[in-house]
């Protein structure tokens, strides 16, 4: 317990008196920004379009443009803005937008939806924003930014879809090539490349950039993504060549596993469509397109499976295949083939790429043909091998998460759902055959794996040097937005492991694990979505995944348990405890970004979904679902947990209806939510004891967490939960759904110290148990020696990371001013932890909440970004001066609450409190 009756003092790090002049008047100039008094202490920064930096190839007719105010003066605020969009960068820089000029808007908003003249395809738009701060003083101009449209409309495509054969069983990946001439100076050149399958693009023999595994997985017969490349600097005068290597990806799944990927209704030999659009200096435009004049041949990639591995025979390399002048006389003509779907849209995502290269940590020679490399961490990705030897030498790279009792790579925890039909496609095992020409490099392009260990073997003796093998951590490269650091190394280890697992499970859609399945399991993803959003700028992936949801939803509202799916998942595991993603993900995006668009876009889908559950559960209860998956020992009734998610969905729908001014729906779904709440409480809650059901941890914490418990019984139910947890030796006894609720239900209902003790446990069952046993990622099951459900890289138990931001840092979005316009701060200075720091970079900038305890004092420091505010809840003792409540400190409003907390309303700035 920290001590309470000390001389308290509040030290505003910066002068909070600035709060007082927020109401000063603003004056606007008429034409451009030059009329304004410059104010060098502020500027607009972090300009984004569709949440990306200067994107090229976007299709959105009304893109979202956002910025931030960089101004660390206390109370800094945007009082007005004016935004210009145009095709002439100089004009835009001068405050003239030929496409859109918002005029001066007296507003604190920092994101607008484009509403100017209709955007044209293939056009670069420049934009900037003028901000006025307090007193109507203008900030210096934001440097001109840009975005570029792509096709906008699929009728713009000129190319044909092409492939090499109809044979889906043919193993080698096909090359495609075409040459063309350039006879005038080029101003700009873009490649638009849509594919069903995966591809690698080369222009004049070189790859473009560092993105890999494009395009990301979609329901291929309903939506295909295209990627735009700037290839201006790759083109040369005279002869040029463009080359495409096609991989199978999820489109032509040749490996066999229990989810029938190989029977996907869309399955076909991979295909692509490409337009290379060259704009010459003289303004003329030429488009080089995929079509019947392209040539094709088989490549050295003799087998590739997104699920298992890649095999490469370097003896089949054709040097210069994507360079001009290559002799393709022996190559075949391509086949023109139908488009895979009628919906070809831009891929608007942070690309998948290698974000880290890991050297071998420990290398062991097992015998003269086998070496074992340990990379020290579990990751998703691939390996790069550099080696030399005789032509035909065959290497195998077997990727594993763990070792067997003989210290050899062990796949038995992850190959359980794989159903190979022969031994030609070993699991997580690349095969590389040498050409014999000097030092050769192998790096697969159409596959990734989950691993920490790689066993490299060959069909003849060889020597492996550690520096010749490197692991590449691949994932959607979403920018980090969060940081946790505490005085407890185990807690820090859990946070890092959760980040590793979150990223290892992000490949343009959230997955369950990077090895055994790579499936877009819905339940895992909504449970982990707050962890994702506190730690990473993940909106683009979630918006894309919501598109996938709409593609998969049945007319009756039903969603499959895994998304995208080749058909599996409509019959099992797809109840509301899993597929509530359709409501929970857009709602969380609204809370974290303050952006209503995901809710608007999915409104009808959420509604159809909720209506479908209602169809099946007229009395307000449903037992449609899997329940508390992989529990420690006890399992709550499925009807209780599934009905809780039904309630969550109906509540989100009701709130969304209000936000979208749909009054009738608002009333209807509010009443439905109430009906569900009542039904749950009538059946499961005993008012006198405060117990739900038998009083298991999940039974008590799920209703607490989701607001189902009647207000007057909250503390009673919370007390029962605390007792239950203590009876369980202050360890968890929950599964997937319980992990979402247990820690929050405790810490948000007066039992933060206990929640911390549970979260920081280092003995079984706990997260810390994994960490003290060497885990660098989160596991799928609680015992480290469990016999089933034993992937070592699952994110589904990952809510604990979000909990650290919420319970210890106290950082919550405010539903009434979402996107951290106002931050709710409710830190808990828990017993047993000496210091803690959480930082989250929200749409307004970096929010920091940080505390430190000594025997004498608690110090709490907080930073609130410009143009946002915070409502801070502190223990009353923190503001006691000689036993009296310090009422007001230089403009900070202080309200006392009945439960001996004080509430402070803070403006932007940095503050330090100590008591």
Nearer to ligand BGC, 321 or 509 (CB): 509
Answer whether 386's CB lies under 8 Å from 440's CB: yes
Answer whether 224's CB lies under 8 Å from 339's CB: yes
Closest distance to ligand BGC from the beta carbon of 427 (Å): 16
Under the rule (CB under 6 A), what is the footprint of ligand BGC? 512-513, 517, 521, 523-524, 573, 626, 629, 794, 796
Closest distance to ligand BGC from the beta carbon of 522 (Å): 8
Nearer to ligand BGC, 76 or 626 (CB): 626
Closest distance to ligand BGC from the beta carbon of 629 (Å): 6
The pair of three-digit structure tokens given for residue 163, joined into one six-digit string: 């492939």
The pair of three-digit structure tokens given for residue 866, joined into one six-digit string: 């410009």
Helix (H, G, I), strand (E, B) or coil at 679: helix
Closest distance to ligand BGC from the beta carbon of 524 (Å): 5
Nearer to ligand BGC, 198 or 796 (CB): 796
Answer whether 217's CB lies under 8 Å from 508's CB: yes
- The candidate with the shortest Cα–Cα distance to 57, out of 272, 351, 347, 350, is 347
Closest distance to ligand BGC from the beta carbon of 66 (Å): 34
Q: Residue 558 CA to chain centroid, in angstroms?
A: 24
Looking at the DSSP bridge assignments, the partners of residue 335 are 163
Helix (H, G, I), strand (E, B) or coil at 362: strand
Closest distance to ligand BGC from the beta carbon of 549 (Å): 16
**Alpha-carbon gap, residue 850 to 318, rounded angstroms:** 58
Nearer to ligand BGC, 504 or 755 (CB): 504
Nearer to ligand BGC, 21 or 572 (CB): 572
Nearer to ligand BGC, 531 or 868 (CB): 531
Nearer to ligand BGC, 142 or 795 (CB): 795
Closest distance to ligand BGC from the beta carbon of 566 (Å): 16
Q: What's the distance, Cα to Cα, between the start and end of the chain in Å?
A: 14
Neighbouring residues of 387: CB distance < 8 A, sequence distance ≥ 6: 395, 434, 439, 440, 442, 462, 464, 468
Nearer to ligand BGC, 435 or 574 (CB): 574
Q: 531-563: buried (b, 16+ CB within 10 Å) or exposed (e) per residue? A: bbbbbbbbbbbbbbbbbbbbbbbeeebbbbbbb
Closest distance to ligand BGC from the beta carbon of 736 (Å): 7
Closest distance to ligand BGC from the beta carbon of 523 (Å): 5
Nearer to ligand BGC, 179 or 524 (CB): 524
Helices in 706-776 by DSSP H: which ranges?
Answer: 714-727, 736-747, 752-759, 767-772
Other Cβ atoms within 10 Å of 566 Cβ, number:
22
Closest distance to ligand BGC from the beta carbon of 513 (Å): 6
Closest distance to ligand BGC from the beta carbon of 475 (Å): 17
**Alpha-carbon gap, residue 646 to 625, rounded angstroms:** 11
**Alpha-carbon gap, residue 519 to 247, rounded angstroms:** 19
Neighbouring residues of 280: CB distance < 8 A, sequence distance ≥ 6: 184, 185, 186, 187, 286
Nearer to ligand BGC, 688 or 788 (CB): 788
Closest distance to ligand BGC from the beta carbon of 527 (Å): 9
Nearer to ligand BGC, 303 or 578 (CB): 578
Closest distance to ligand BGC from the beta carbon of 578 (Å): 7
**Alpha-carbon gap, residue 288 to 290, rounded angstroms:** 7
Closest distance to ligand BGC from the beta carbon of 630 (Å): 8
Of all helices (H) and strands (E), which one includes residue 226?
strand 224-230
Closest distance to ligand BGC from the beta carbon of 560 (Å): 12
Nearer to ligand BGC, 486 or 642 (CB): 642
Answer whether 261's CB lies under 8 Å from 223's CB: no
- The candidate with the shortest Cα–Cα distance to 307, out of 352, 261, 363, 245, is 261
Nearer to ligand BGC, 310 or 512 (CB): 512
Closest distance to ligand BGC from the beta carbon of 529 (Å): 14
Nearer to ligand BGC, 469 or 626 (CB): 626
Other Cβ atoms within 10 Å of 590 Cβ, number:
23
Helix 663-684 vs helix 597-616: crossing angle, to nearest 10: 50
**Alpha-carbon gap, residue 473 to 827, rounded angstroms:** 34
DSSP string, 287-348: EEE-STT-EEEE-SEEEE-SSS-EEEEGGG--TTTTSTT---TTPEEPEE---S-S-EEE--
Answer whether 482's CB lies under 8 Å from 536's CB: yes
**Alpha-carbon gap, residue 521 to 563, rounded angstroms:** 7
- The candidate with the shortest Cα–Cα distance to 100, out of 86, 81, 80, 121, is 86
Closest distance to ligand BGC from the beta carbon of 633 (Å): 18
Neighbouring residues of 268: CB distance < 8 A, sequence distance ≥ 6: 163, 166, 168, 196, 251, 252, 337, 340
Nearer to ligand BGC, 66 or 519 (CB): 519
Tell me the Cα Rg of the chain: 29
Nearer to ligand BGC, 116 or 523 (CB): 523
Nearer to ligand BGC, 564 or 620 (CB): 564
**Alpha-carbon gap, residue 574 to 47, rounded angstroms:** 39
**Alpha-carbon gap, residue 162 to 746, rounded angstroms:** 58
Nearer to ligand BGC, 77 or 501 (CB): 501
Closest distance to ligand BGC from the beta carbon of 812 (Å): 27
What residue number has its CB nearest to ligand BGC? 512
């Amino acid at each position: 317990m920290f001590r309470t009756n000390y001389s308290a003092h509040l030290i505003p790090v910066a002068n909070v008196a600035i709060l007082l002049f927020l109401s000063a008047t603003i004056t606007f100039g008429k034409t451009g920004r030059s009329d304004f008094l410059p104010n060098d202490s502020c500027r607009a920064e972090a300009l984004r379009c569709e949440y990306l930096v200067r994107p090229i190839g976007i299709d959105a007719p009304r893109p979202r443009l956002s910025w931030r105010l960089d101004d660390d003066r206390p109370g800094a605020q945007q009082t007005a803005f004016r935004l210009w969009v145009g095709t002439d960068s100089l004009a835009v820089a001068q405050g003239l937008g030929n496409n859109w000029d918002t005029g001066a808007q007296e507003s604190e908003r920092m994101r607008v939806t484009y509403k100017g003249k209709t955007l044209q395809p293939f056009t670069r738009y420049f934009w900037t924003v003028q901000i006025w701060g307090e007193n109507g003083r203008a900030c210096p101009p934001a440097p001109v930014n840009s975005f570029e449209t792509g096709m906008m409309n699929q009728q713009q495509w000129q190319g044909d879809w092409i492939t090499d054969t109809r044979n889906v069983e043919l193993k080698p990946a096909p090359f495609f090539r075409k040459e063309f001439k350039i006879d005038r100076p080029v101003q700009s050149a873009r490649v638009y490349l849509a594919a069903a399958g995966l591809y690698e693009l080369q222009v004049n023999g070189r790859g473009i950039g560092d993105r890999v595994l494009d395009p990301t997985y979609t329901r291929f017969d309903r939506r295909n993504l295209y990627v735009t490349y700037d290839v201006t600097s790759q083109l040369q005068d005279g002869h040029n060549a463009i080359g495409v290597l096609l991989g199978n990806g999820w489109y032509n799944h040749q490996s066999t596993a229990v989810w029938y990927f190989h029977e996907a209704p869309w399955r076909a030999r991979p295909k692509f469509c490409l337009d290379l659009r060259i704009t010459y200096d003289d303004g003329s435009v030429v488009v080089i397109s995929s079509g019947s004049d392209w040539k094709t041949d088989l490549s050295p990639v003799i087998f590739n499976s997104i699920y298992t591995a890649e095999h490469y025979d370097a003896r089949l390399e054709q040097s210069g295949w994507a360079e001009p002048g290559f002799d393709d006389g022996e190559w075949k003509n391509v086949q023109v083939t139908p488009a895979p779907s009628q919906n070809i849209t831009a891929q608007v995502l942070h690309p998948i790429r290698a974000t880290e290269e890991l050297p071998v940590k420990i290398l062991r020679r097992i015998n003269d043909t086998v070496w074992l490399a340990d990379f020290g961490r579990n990751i998703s990705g691939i390996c790069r091998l550099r080696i030399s030897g005789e032509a035909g030498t065959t290497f195998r790279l077997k990727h594993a998460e763990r070792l067997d009792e003989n210290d050899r790579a062990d796949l038995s925890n992850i190959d359980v759902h794989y159903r190979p039909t022969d031994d030609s496609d070993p699991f997580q095992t690349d095969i590389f055959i040498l050409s014999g020409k000097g030092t050769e490099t192998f790096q697969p392009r159409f596959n990734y794996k989950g691993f920490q260990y790689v066993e490299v073997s060959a069909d003849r003796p060889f020597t492996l040097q550690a520096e010749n093998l490197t692991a590449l951590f691949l994932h959607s490269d979403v920018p980090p937005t969060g940081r946790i650091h505490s005085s407890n190394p185990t807690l820090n280890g859990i946070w890092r492991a959760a980040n590793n697992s979150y990223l290892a499970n992000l490949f343009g859609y959230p997955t369950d694990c990077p090895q055994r399945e790579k499936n877009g399991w819905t339940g895992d993803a909504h449970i982990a979505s707050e962890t994702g959003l506190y730690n990473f700028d993940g909106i683009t992936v979630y918006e894309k995944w919501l598109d996938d949801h709409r593609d998969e939803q049945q007319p009756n509202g039903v969603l499959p348990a895994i998304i995208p799916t080749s058909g599996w998942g409509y019959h099992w595991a797809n109840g509301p405890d899993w597929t509530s993603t359709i409501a929970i993900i857009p709602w969380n995006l609204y809370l974290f970004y303050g952006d209503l668009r995901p809710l608007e876009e999915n409104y009808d889908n959420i509604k159809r979904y909720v209506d479908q559950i209602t169809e099946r559960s007229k009395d307000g209860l449903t037992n449609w679902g899997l329940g508390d998956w992989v529990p420690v020992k006890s399992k709550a009734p499925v009807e209780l947990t599934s009905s809780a998610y039904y309630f969550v969905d109906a509540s989100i729908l009701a709130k969304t209806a209000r936000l979208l001014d749909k009054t009738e729906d608002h009333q209807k779904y509010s009443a439905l939510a109430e009906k569900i709440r009542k039904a749950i409480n009538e059946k499961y809650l005993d008012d006198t004891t405060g117990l739900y059901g038998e009083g298991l941890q999940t039974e008590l914490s799920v209703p607490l967490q989701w607001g189902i418990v009647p207000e007057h019984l909250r503390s009673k139910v919370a007390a029962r939960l605390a007792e239950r947890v203590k009876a369980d030796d202050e360890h968890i006894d929950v599964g997937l759904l319980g992990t979402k609720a247990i820690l929050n239900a405790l810490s948000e209902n007066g039992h933060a110290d206990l929640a911390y003790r549970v979260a920081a446990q280092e003995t079984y069952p706990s997260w810390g148990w994994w960490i003290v046993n060497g885990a660098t990622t989160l596991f799928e099951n609680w015992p480290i020696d469990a016999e089933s459900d034993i992937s070592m890289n699952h994110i589904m138990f990952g809510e604990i990371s979000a909990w650290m931001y919420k319970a210890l840092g106290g950082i919550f979005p405010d539903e009434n001013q979402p996107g951290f316009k106002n931050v709710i701060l409710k830190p808990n200075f828990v017993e047993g932890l000496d210091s803690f720091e959480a930082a989250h970079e929200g749409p307004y900038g970096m929010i920091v909440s940080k505390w430190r305890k000594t025997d004498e004092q608690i110090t709490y420091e907080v930073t609130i970004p410009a143009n946002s505010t915070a409502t801070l809840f502190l223990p009353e003792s923190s503001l006691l001066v000689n036993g009296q409540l310090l009422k007001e400190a230089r403009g900070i409003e202080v309200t006392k609450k009945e439960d001996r907390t004080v509430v402070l309303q803070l403006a932007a700035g940095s503050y330090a409190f100590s008591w």
